[in-house]
Amino acid sequence: MRVMLVNPRSKLPVDQRTSPPLGLAYLAAASAARGDEVMVHDMEVESEPPGRVAREFKPDLTGITAITVQVKKAWEIAAEIQEACGSFVVLGGMHPTLLPDESLEQEHVDAVVRGEGEATWLELCERLESGASLHGVVGLSFREEGCVVHNPDRPPILDVDSLPYPAYELFKMERYTNLQPHVDEHKGKSFSLLTARGCPYRCSYCPHVFPRRWRGRSPESVIGEWKHLVEDLGAREIGILDDSFNVNRQRVADICHLLIKEKLDHIPWIVINGMRANVADYEMLRLMKEAGCKRVAFGVESGNQDVLDRVVGKHLKLEQVSEAFAAAKRARLESIGFFILGLPGDTEGTMDETIDFACKLNPEVANFFVATPFPGTHMYEIIRQGGRLLTDSWDDFFILDGRARFEMDGLTAGVVEGKWREAYRRFYFRPSRLAKMAASKHTWLNLPGLVRLGFQIMIPNRGPRSEGAAGKDMVAIAGASPVGAGEELERPGAKVILQ
């Protein structure tokens, strides 16, 4: 069977890193192992319209991934491809998993794969190839005779070692940036690696579609893929995409020891999405450094303990955060801090505490996000019950442009947006920070990009803002219940972090 996999372009208002979408890379590997002829069309690095590509390739089955900010574009692509070649079109990823009915209302979307996609995708391929009914394919929603059918949820994959390595060979790797282009010089191919799936925590800003059960790959499986990336694909940099890399301390140690034993520690690696600060100590971080780790990230979110406890639900103490950043410095690891402004319950005072805390921690990189209530999050329910959404389009659900998407009593959008700009000014325009940047070779090599990024952050976005309650894009959320386990996590740091 001929299979086409598409990643829609994200119209983002800031420069971003580009890297192959890992969910599609796993699906591509699964399809290729089945014997399918697979084509990947990543619109972040491709210029040719997907309809034209589909007309030439003539796929029998097309899969399109989408997070919230991509979903409307995904619907357009579905129509373009189906009109071009009549392919069966399937959507998957975070947003369609949460709201499958919404996507199946689109004329050119035939089915939605909910949650982790590999097993459902393979069974769907077999049913389509044989002409069998789609009833009983767990994890699948589809349209039949004008009605939407939701098959039962598929349990999460427990044996994550059984999954094939992502099919990076099907991507045009030379077109992607390095993992953190605003920090590092581009020196060759960069690859992302997932060492575990799931997250045992339930922070209020994360969509609750991943299973709570954390499932780690064995250290041997991780090192096998690591060696493949380095020796077969020429990796010069590796980024770990786990939601919480250090949930299992012994596994982290075992991975590091194997990296050293297999002489893979010469390739720098970074932890992109974050580590749990309360589980990170000096011994762990020192060993990671010895194994080649260059940079770690911690989700701090707020500098106010009450907001962290009552609103975010982080189960984390500010003292633990301070200790983790200090341990990283002692281990000679660079650090990234993620901070959120405008959370429900935030005030000007608590946001000032967050900015002050960021400056005190003084990581190499501080990413400040404006709180965004994605569908499937506890934060969305809080806003729906006691606040006011300021947007009526999924296109607007982006966390890095400094625009507030909601208001609560006592905290206006203007105040939040002003604090966001203030956070970047106060953190990056300190004399010590400016001196450090001036002394860095990378600053001068990447000066045009940094200047452009600075303007994008510091100049207020004057685009139109819809007023009042959410419109037609949003109404589907009210009755939505989280299902399955998504492929991408819409949270600070998961896809488009400023680095």
- What is the phi/psi pair of residue 180, to 5°? -140, 75
For residues 103 and 71, the answer to whether their CB atoms sit within 8 Å is yes
- Say what the pLDDT of residue 19 is: 84
- Say what the pLDDT of residue 48 is: 95
Q: Which residues of 100-109 are buried (b: 16+ CB within 10 A; e: fewer)?
A: bebbbebebb
Task: Count CB atoms within 10 A of the CB of residue 132.
Answer: 12
- Say what the pLDDT of residue 207 is: 82
Q: For residue 468, is pLDDT > 90?
A: no
Mean pLDDT of 175-195: 83
Whether 2-150 and 177-479 share one fold: the answer is: no
Locate 294 and state its tokens.
């260059």
pLDDT band at residue 438, thresholds of 50, 70 and 90? Answer: confident
**Structural domain spans, the chain:** 2-150, 177-479
pLDDT band at residue 101, thresholds of 50, 70 and 90? Answer: very high
Q: What is the CA angle 78-81-87, rounded to 5?
A: 95
Enter the CATH code of domain 177-479. 3.80.30.20
Q: For residue 351, is pLDDT > 60?
A: yes
Mean pLDDT of 148-165: 95
Task: Return d(Cα 8, Cα 178) in angstroms, integer.
Answer: 20
Task: Return d(Cα 203, Cα 309) in angstroms, integer.
Answer: 10
pTM of the full structure: 0.88
- Say what the pLDDT of residue 439 is: 75
140-149, 198-207, 386-395, 452-461: the lowest-pLDDT one: 452-461
Residue 165 or residue 181, greater confidence: 165
- Architecture per CATH, domain 2-150, reads as 3-Layer(aba) Sandwich (3.40)
- Say what the pLDDT of residue 456 is: 59
Residue with tokens 């064995």: 218
Q: For residue 469, is pLDDT > 50?
A: no
Burial of 34 (0-12, 13-18, 19+ CB in 10 A): middle
pLDDT band at residue 482, thresholds of 50, 70 and 90? Answer: very low
Task: Return d(Cα 203, Cα 491) in angstroms, integer.
Answer: 10
Mean pLDDT of 331-351: 96
Q: For residue 314, is pLDDT > 80?
A: yes
- Say what the pLDDT of residue 410 is: 83
State which H helix or E strand residue 95 sits in: helix 94-98
- Say what the pLDDT of residue 493 is: 34
Antiparallel, parallel or unpaired: β 387-389 and 406-408: antiparallel
Task: Count CB atoms within 10 A of the CB of residue 492.
Answer: 26
22-31, 78-87, 482-491: the lowest-pLDDT one: 482-491
Mean pLDDT of 414-432: 93
Residue 377 or residue 74, greater confidence: 74
- Say what the pLDDT of residue 133 is: 97
Mean pLDDT of 174-178: 85
